[in-house]
Amino acid sequence: MDIFIPVIIVVIISVMLWGWSTALRRIPLKDFGIEKVERVLKMESDEYRIQILHRGWLTNKEWAKLQKKHQSVLAENDKKQGSQ
């Protein structure tokens, strides 16, 4: 029973840190690569694109969602850069 409370505390802190990193932490667009962000946002609606560019940041979760949604756009760019 003595070890139960510290284990619970460690688990709670770990979950909070993971949640902060993936869903709450604001990361500037330049950290993702502004060219990649602009290329992916071209495929999104004008409203969403303006909102993201205006605020200037994304969360890891948002970026992962955009990457998954537009894998082909990013893959084409990687091929073009590889052939140069």
- The model's pLDDT over 35-66, given as tens digits with 9 standing for 90+, comes to 889 889 999 999 999 999 999 999 999 999 99
Non-local (6+) Cβ contacts of 58 within 8 A are 26, 27, 29, 32, 37, 52, 66
Find the domain containing 70 and state its range: 26-83
User: Which stretch of DSSP H or E encloses residue 51?
Assistant: helix 46-55
pLDDT band at 82 (very low <50, low <70, confident <90, very high): low
Q: Is residue 34 part of a domain?
A: yes
pLDDT band at 74 (very low <50, low <70, confident <90, very high): confident
Unique residue bearing structure tokens 């205006």: 54
- CB of 75 closer than 8 Å to CB of 36: no
Q: Is residue 68 part of a domain?
A: yes
Q: Is residue 74 part of a domain?
A: yes
Amino acid at 19: G
Token representation of residue 19: 């949640």
Q: Is residue 36 part of a domain?
A: yes
Closest by Cα among 31, 15, 11 to 23: 15
Non-local (6+) Cβ contacts of 25 within 8 A are 59, 60
